[in-house]
Amino acid sequence: MKILFIHQNFPSQFIHLAARLAQKKQNKVVALTMSQPQPIPGVNLRPYTLLRQAAPETHPLLKDQESKILLAEACAAAAMQLKHEGFVPDVIIAHPGWGEALFMKDVFPQAKLLIYCEFYYNLEGQDVGFDPEIPPLNFQQRCRLRLKNTTNLLSMEIADAAISPTKWQKSTYPSWAQEKITVIHDGIDVERLAFNPNARIEVASNQHHANLNFKPGDEVLSYVARNLEPVRGFQIFMRALPSILRKRPNAHALIVGGDGLGYGHSAPNSLSWREHLMAEVGIDLDMRRVHFLGKVPYQTYLDLLSVSKVHSYWTTPFVLSWSFLEAAYSGLPVIASNTQPVTEFASQLGVETFDFFDFEDFSKRATRQLQAKTSVRRGVNFPELHLENSLRQQVKLINDL
């Protein structure tokens, strides 16, 4: 079978599936991408670039659409080159979010197209309007958000099948589109989440403290997000910290995440959300015990899961983070917001939940977990999302196509 993956940041969600399909010698696997990822054995990486930049005079409501058309055009050009070289895929597996799948059926009309349905934007009932601190969208912003679904809709129309990682993410799509969507999670590699008693996290010295080293058994509260922002409840975490650290004088907070804006609204006054929240609560924090680690290598993140005594997680009604599931599967006690993406799995994973905005309740729960006696770490027994189970379902769906 010939398989073509399309994702500008490949491998991303396709990392395990691409590797599994490439293991079979009878398969030929190619990936179109704009990134420069680590090679995957058996996967032929083919980079593509934009043929031109967006025009400055484009209508403001069409700028996002133009960027996606430019990506679709560039991706189609790369696909046509593959076709010229004799590679015609049986199946195309694509993330449609950036428009890359739009013209694939025009290049390869006989190929089956499987798209990854991560999230469908809605003007109410999901992330938009969830946080009362975030200003409501103005008319132009509402129009722009509505148009963000254009590539979603067009890609869904031409797709032969679709995958969503969770039931809730599938539910964000219109009912007619849901008929094409099969819920199969990307898969959790539980073996690499095994507790490591030798894990260590080192925090370099700064103006507040000397060099620090943390190990399993230390009183560590962890928070992980791609970027520190309200979509992932960073403001609630920061408002809870002063109380937690006052009650637990030996506790430390290890915070992983960048200062960029991944989703949602910018912080006021051109600040990062970290700067904005530090201006709000920093005076009440013992900075000898609050450590912003920035973005870290994956192995450091895994070590953090072993070192941490309790992990915190928030999400608005938005895409569920892998870090939430991985922390829970590792057996690390997790306290998380009781929003729909979380509650889909919370009871099966033994996750303690609380109201998203109630930082006082979170503070009490985190304090209780930090003062509890450290118990033997055991992974969660919930095989539904295990990597092998997910890969088996994904490969079956592809073969059925």
Q: How many angstroms separate the CA atoms of 70 and 175, rounded?
A: 29
The CATH number assigned to the domain with range 190-382 reads: 3.40.50.2000
Q: Identify the helix (H) or strand (E) that includes residue 292.
A: strand 290-294
Residues 6+ apart with CB under 8 A from 345: 166, 320, 325, 328, 351, 382, 385
Q: Please say whether the beta carbons of 201 and 303 come within 8 A.
A: yes
DSSP 124: S
Pairing of strands 201-203, 212-214: antiparallel
Domain limits, CATH 3.40.50.2000, in the chain: 2-187+387-400, 190-382
Q: How many angstroms separate the CA atoms of 78 and 93, rounded?
A: 15
Question: Facing residues of 334 across strands?
Answer: 311
| CATH architecture type of domain 2-187+387-400 | 3-Layer(aba) Sandwich (3.40)
- Residue 271's alpha-carbon distances to 82, 93, 175, 260, 278, in angstroms, are 45, 38, 40, 10, 11
Sign of the C-alpha dihedral computed for residues 149, 150, 151 and 153 taken in this order: positive
Question: Quick one: which of 223, 226, 227, 220 has its CA closest to 199?
Answer: 220
Under DSSP, is residue 259 helix (H, G, I), strand (E, B) or coil? coil
Global pTM? Answer: 0.93
Region of 230 please: left (phi>0), alpha (psi -120 to 50) or beta.
alpha
Q: What is the pLDDT of residues 269-309, one digit of tens each?
A: 999 999 999 999 999 999 999 999 999 999 999 999 999 99
pLDDT in tens, the chain (401 residues): 999 999 999 999 999 999 999 999 999 999 999 988 888 999 999 999 998 888 889 998 999 999 999 999 999 999 999 999 999 999 999 999 999 999 999 999 999 999 999 999 999 999 999 999 998 999 999 999 999 999 999 999 999 999 999 999 999 999 999 999 999 999 999 999 999 999 999 999 998 899 999 999 999 999 999 999 999 999 999 999 999 999 999 999 999 999 998 887 889 999 999 999 999 999 999 999 999 999 999 999 999 999 999 999 999 999 999 999 999 999 999 999 999 999 999 999 999 999 999 999 999 999 999 999 887 888 888 999 999 999 999 999 999 99
Q: How many angstroms separate the CA atoms of 251 and 57, rounded?
A: 54
Tokens (6 digits) for 237: 């975490």
